[in-house]
Every structure is written in C-alpha cells, then in structure tokens.
C-alpha cells in the first residue's frame, strides 16, 4: 500500500507537469499525438481532435508527445514549425505547472494545520540573546540577512549558511506589532558527542541514525543496534538513555558501552568526540498555528518558495562538493521515505497521514519544477536554452546538432539514474 501511495504521488506530480505542456501546446496549435496517464502498455485509449488519450498500466508518470518535437516535419502543427515564443511557453509550462501543483497542495495542507511562525519561545538567562534584548513572544522576520516567514526558515539559514562565533547575527523582529532589530554576538561552546540518534521514549534505545567519523560509527556500531548498558548502568529504553546522558554529561573520558545486535551482546570502549558549536541562547516555535483565509494564500506561496529555494541551495551544495554523490536519492529512496512518513504518522491519525503526503507532494513537485529548469540537455531547461538562443539569434541552431546534444544528455541522465538507483538500494540495505 505504501508503494502504491508513493507511485500515485509520483503519477500526480509528473502528470501535472505533462498537463502543462499539453495545454500550452494545444493553445499554440501544436499537434499533440498522444497524452497519457501512466507508463507502459495501454489499458484504455481513445482519439479525439487528433490526439490519442491513453491510460497506461504503470501509475508512475505520464507523457505529452508532440508532432515534430525531435525531428523535421512539414506539417503545420509540428512543434518546430511554430514561432519560438510559442515553443518557449509550451516547454516552460511543464515546470511552471509543477509550481502551480505545489501551491494547490500547500493551500490544502496549510488550511488543515496552519503554518509555523518564527516565534521566540524561550530565552536563556544571561545568554547572548538575553543580552541583545530578545524576549519570548517576539516574531523573527529577518535572520542574518535572510527573510524569515516560517520557523524552519531559521533552521534552513543555519544549515546552508552556518553562523560562527566571530560574526554578529543581525535579527529583525516584531514585538506587539512593532518592528524592532538587534544584534546577537554568538557564544562559542564545546560539547562531546558519540554521533548517533535514538528515540528518547519508552521503547528500546535503538540507534536510528549514526554519523560517520564519530566514535560509535568508528567502533563498528550500526543503525538498528540497541544500546543496553553504559558505564555499567543498565539501559532499558531510550528514555533511560536520555536521562543517563543528562545526568552524566559526556566528556573527553572513555566510556564503556554495550549494545545488542541479532541477539548477541557486544561491549566496546569509545571516547566522545569534542564538537565546537555556537550558542545564541534562544529557542523558537516548532509547532503550527491556524491562520486566516488570506493567511492560507500568503503562506502557501511562502511554502512553495521555501521548497524551491531549498532545492536550489541543495543543488549548490552538490555542485560545490559540500554534499557527496553518495547522498543523492532517487525514486527508490523517495518511495522508502514516503513509506516511513506514512508509518510514523499513522499513530497520530488519518489527518496527519494526509498532511505528510501533501508535504511530500509539495516537495516533489517543487523539486521536479526546479530540476527540469536546469540547462541540461534533454531536460526542459536544456530545450529552453536552445530556444532562448534561437530567439536572440533570430534563427534556430542546426536541428541535427541540437538533437545530438539532447541525445548525449539523455544518455548521461540514464547513467545517472542507474547510479542513483543502486545508490538507493545500497543506502536502504
């Protein structure tokens, strides 16, 4: 069922993309030979207005096939026989419709749960934030030069552009409707880490995430291992592990840790790793609040903006080497993550499952829109690049040369998809 749900989301996102191409092609008088829902063998089809409409077996996408798109054709309705601006609008419509779909999904999601305002919830006494005059209830509107609409905008800013102890942080905020600003000078702190995550609840202390180059990973521990003892103290749950670490903060001294894997107990000695971080001294809202009808529209636009900018910044990290190729995820990983989202939200009710699925649809649709606008041959962005050059030159680039470039781009994309597929399988295993 989780795989079917993931495929349906994929199908919706890709079909809406192809619908954009289809509607603008029809408007421009371009002959659409086939518009299909799904991929693979046809289950049902009919012809109307010169276009075959098909329902295909696999619910993982769709297609909009236009006459003369990749070859020379004398027909008046052929894609390449239309003026350059008609072709540009037809190609651009696919990614643009993905942004429209993301906005529509955001409207539904935000009308259900609201938005997450960047409201300060606590300010530590004698902290840099307290000295700067920040108070609980203040709503942050700008953080270190970044416009802030959602609380997660602060997290995103810190993730993609981390602050340092030497750089003051400029903050603008609203207090009782009045705009104010201040500057916080971060404080450098040092803590010691083992490099893992777990659920601090009544279930067993199972490792859910483990970080490379940190003590537990280097000692051979893996995701799924269950911590049962630390420094001679029995650990029966994530809550007990959390309490132990709170009462016995980690230092640079060795600790003895026992974990269980496949019914066998293993004991290791590890030395926590020193980790320097900066402290501002305030916490901000992590929950959601309902908003007005106008607010729903406003924050839906901001929701789409958030995912578009996150996608662009993530691509920037990939191209600059801050994120490795092994971190790339494709359809297999997405299906797995959607399944995890459904599983983890079931206990909170059907509404939360729907909200999580809507969130994934927004993310994927915005992501597909951005990716297709990249100037890469065989993608919409690559085709747009050739068309824009044609618009400035006043004549098209040699069709054979353009077709060759797109073919090379398609082959490279297929190679990338194979790599991503095996990368997904490796990461899941």
CA nearest 235: which of 245, 227, 243? 227
CA atoms within 13 A on the CB side of 251: 3
Query: What is the distance between the alpha carbons of residues 124 and 193, in angstroms, rounded to a whole number?
Result: 22
CA atoms within 13 A on the CB side of 221: 33
Active-site residue flag, 206: no
Query: What is the distance between the alpha carbons of residues 104 and 309, in angstroms, rounded to a whole number?
Result: 18
Distance of CA 218 to the CA centre of its chain: 29
Query: What is the distance between the alpha carbons of residues 420 and 125, in angstroms, rounded to a whole number?
Result: 48
Q: Are 128 and 167 in contact (CB under 8 A)?
A: no
What does the block give as tokens for 296?
A: 């729903």
Query: What is the distance between the alpha carbons of residues 245 and 323, in angstroms, rounded to a whole number?
Result: 31
Under 8 Å CB-to-CB from 115, ≥6 apart: which residues? 149, 150, 288, 289, 291, 295, 299, 302, 303
Query: Which candidate in 18, 69, 240, 402 is catalytic?
Result: 18
What does the block give as tokens for 254?
A: 């060795």
Which pairing describes strands 120-123 and 282-284: parallel, antiparallel, or unpaired?
antiparallel
CA nearest 245: which of 255, 350, 284? 255
What are the φ and ψ backbone dihedral angles of 20, each rounded to 5 degrees?
-60, -50
> Which residues are designated catalytic?
18
């Amino acid at each position: 069922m989780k795989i079917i749900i993931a495929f349906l989301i994929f199908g919706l996102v890709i079909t809406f993309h192809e619908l954009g191409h289809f509607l603008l092609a029809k408007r421009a008088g371009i002959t659409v030979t086939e518009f299909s829902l799904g991929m693979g063998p046809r289950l049902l089809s009919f012809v109307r207005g010169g276009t075959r409409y098909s329902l295909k077996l696999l619910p993982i996408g769709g297609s909009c096939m236009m006459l003369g798109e990749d070859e020379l054709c004398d027909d008046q309705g052929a894609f390449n026989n239309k003026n350059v601006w008609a072709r540009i609008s037809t190609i651009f419509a696919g990614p643009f419709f993905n942004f429209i779909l993301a906005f529509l999904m955001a409207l539904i999601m935000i009308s259900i749960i609201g938005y997450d305002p960047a409201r300060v919830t606590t300010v530590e006494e004698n902290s840099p934030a307290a000295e700067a005059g920040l108070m609980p209830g203040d709503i942050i509107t700008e953080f270190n030069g970044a416009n802030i609409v959602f609380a997660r905008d602060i997290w995103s800013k810190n993730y993609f552009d981390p602050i340092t102890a030497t750089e003051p942080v400029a903050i603008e905020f609203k207090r009782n409707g009045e705009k104010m600003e201040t500057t916080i000078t971060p404080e450098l702190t040092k803590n010691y880490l083992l490099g893992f995550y777990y659920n601090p609840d009544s279930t067993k202390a199972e490792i859910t995430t483990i970080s490379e180059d940190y003590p537990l990973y280097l000692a051979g521990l893996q995701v799924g291992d269950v911590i049962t003892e630390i420094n001679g103290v029995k650990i029966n749950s994530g809550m007990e592990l959390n309490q132990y670490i709170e009462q016995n903060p980690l230092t640079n001294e060795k600790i003895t840790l026992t974990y269980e894997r496949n019914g066998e107990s293993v004991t290791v000695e590890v030395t926590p790793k020193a980790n320097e971080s900066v402290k501002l001294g305030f916490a901000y809202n992590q929950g959601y609040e309902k908003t007005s009808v106008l607010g729903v529209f406003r924050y839906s636009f901001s929701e789409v903006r958030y995912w578009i900018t996150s996608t662009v910044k993530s691509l920037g990290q990939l191209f600059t080497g801050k994120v490795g190729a092994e971190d790339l995820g494709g359809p297999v990983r997405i299906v797995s993550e959607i399944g995890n989202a459904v599983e983890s939200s079931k206990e909170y009710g059907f509404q939360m499952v729907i909200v999580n699925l809507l969130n994934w649809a927004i993310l994927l649709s915005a992501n597909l829109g951005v990716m297709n606008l990249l100037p890469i041959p065989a993608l919409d962005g690559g085709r747009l690049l050739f068309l824009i050059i044609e618009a400035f030159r006043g004549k098209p680039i040699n069709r054979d040369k353009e077709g060759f470039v797109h073919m090379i781009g398609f082959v490279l994309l297929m190679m990338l998809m194979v790599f991503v597929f095996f990368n997904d399988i490796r990461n899941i295993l």
